[in-house]
Amino acid sequence: MDEGNRWIMWLMFFTVVGLAFFLPLVDNDFGWHYVCGNRILSGARWCLENDLTYLLPSYKWAYTAFIYDALIAWGYNLGGFLFLSFMGSGLVVLLTYLAVKHVRGPDWWRMGIVAFTLLLSKLTLFSLGLRSQWMSLLGLVWLLAELMRKKPRWRWVLLATWLWANSHSGFFLAPLCVGVYVGGEILAGWRKDSGQAPAERDSGRMTKKAGLVWLGMVGVTLLNPFGFDVYAELWRHFKMPLNTLVAEWVSPIGWQYWSVWLLGLTGVGWLLMMRERKMDKLWFRVGMMVVLTWLALSARRNLVPFYFGWLILVGGEWGGKILKQVQRSFGFAQDDQTVSLIMMTVILPVLLIYFGIKASRTVRIDTDWGEYCTKGYVNLPCGAIEYLRGKRGMVYNTYEWGGFLIWQLPEMKMFVDGRMPAWIGEGSKSPYTTWLEVIQAQPGWNEYLLGMGTEYLLIAPGTFLDLELDEGEALEWGWEEEYRDKGAVVYGRM
């Protein structure tokens, strides 16, 4: 295939990726991210302490999503949800480009293994549209791509770390990656091969430089509004049993669980078998695969970083070598041009049509408020919002709706939102646990809400609390039903 046709084929591939990830931003936390980002753009008070809910007011949460918040606020103000979908699509195309550069083999194979990684990612938590986790993934892929270079460009490593530290709490992986890199270089330098003496001296200089960069990386992570408190916040996240509170923190199950074990063990095993062949950055690859495998097994939110890490550290080179061996063994090593031709004339055009048609769903959700309210990750109480609009007061709300309500009802104060599971509340309990005790109508729920000054309840119908009030006992508890539809019910304090 000539160079012109190769460019056309790759352009088609990246267009397919862009269409496949042209997704609506249906993350129910979008609202509070947007509010905080809009404050940054307008020069108003930043979200450095909690003034968005009346549970734990003035709580300092050292979460550094400022760059992400500002970006999505800018994008939404410029072109609404549709523009944010284009931004998310472009980010995935950039991630794909960075990953493709580390895959060896013929073009069709490079496309196939990257598409496999993207498919695994989309089947997990990569389907909610542009999120702060995507910024964290960009930081990881950028960093791994730099560290896999023969001579990493350390100034870019430091810049990536600083941007990451102000975009998502996953930034702790940056100094961890470089720490593993330094450890790998030290381990490689211990090899007792006299023929490698110059390389060992080179490795020693590289190790010292990387060690200094590691100190610089820790330093640049502190260039944020909270300083060292961002690490204390990370420690609170690790101590809090989030796997019992939030779905994203639950360990992977089923095919996800086995995919991690299969890719992780076979990848590490192959790397170790290659240690006598002087593979570049061998021990760094092994160390990072162990780290990413452990993180993926601990929480499903870490699956996508694992898949992309596997692609860059192992799959891109491992798959190409296995393919070459299979082709040599079965005698069809010269068939690559035929497969590439099929990719260009059949597979990619079919995928372009398929994902092009599916893109219309994103456009509908992004441009139709009714679709956005009912077709997202959770159904949103848009009817109840219209009823409450213009009113004032403190609202005990369904947890999943908190961020959306903060955005849509700024004149009211919500009880809880998606920022808060790892916060430490009364009795060292998570605010999510406190919310659960009330929604389950556990003893003392009414006295607690009244003591907090709650004036409205905005909850899903059919919950324990709704059943407790709906059985003709609302008046006895001092509440009155004011609004009800299929998705939400509003009770007002009498």
* CATH number where 460 lies: 3.40.190
Asked if residue 358 belongs to a domain, the reply is no
Mean pLDDT score, 286-313: 94
26 and 144, same domain (yes or no) = yes
pLDDT, residue 278, reads 66
The 10s digit of each residue's pLDDT in 44-76 is 888 999 999 999 999 988 888 899 999 999 999
Overall domain count for the chain: 2
Asked if residue 453 belongs to a domain, the reply is yes
Domain of 137? 3-350
343 and 479, same domain (yes or no) = no
For tokens 């007011």, the residue is: 57
Asked if residue 374 belongs to a domain, the reply is no
Please determine, for residue 445, whether its predicted confidence score (pLDDT) is greater than 90: yes
Asked if residue 375 belongs to a domain, the reply is no
115 and 252, same domain (yes or no) = yes
Mean pLDDT score, 325-345: 73
386 and 294, same domain (yes or no) = no
410 and 346, same domain (yes or no) = no
Provide, rounded to the nearest whole percent, the portion of the chain with pLDDT above 70: 92
pLDDT, residue 198, reads 47
Asked if residue 178 belongs to a domain, the reply is yes
Last residue in a domain, options 350, 373, 404:
350
336 and 388, same domain (yes or no) = no
Asked if residue 184 belongs to a domain, the reply is yes
Asked if residue 185 belongs to a domain, the reply is yes
143 and 208, same domain (yes or no) = yes
466 and 325, same domain (yes or no) = no
Mean pLDDT score, 165-177: 91
414 and 307, same domain (yes or no) = no
322 and 397, same domain (yes or no) = no
Mean pLDDT score, 452-478: 91
49 and 162, same domain (yes or no) = yes
Asked if residue 360 belongs to a domain, the reply is no
Last residue in a domain, options 328, 350, 372:
350
Amino acid, single-letter form, for residue 481:
E
Last residue in a domain, options 333, 350, 367:
350
241 and 388, same domain (yes or no) = no
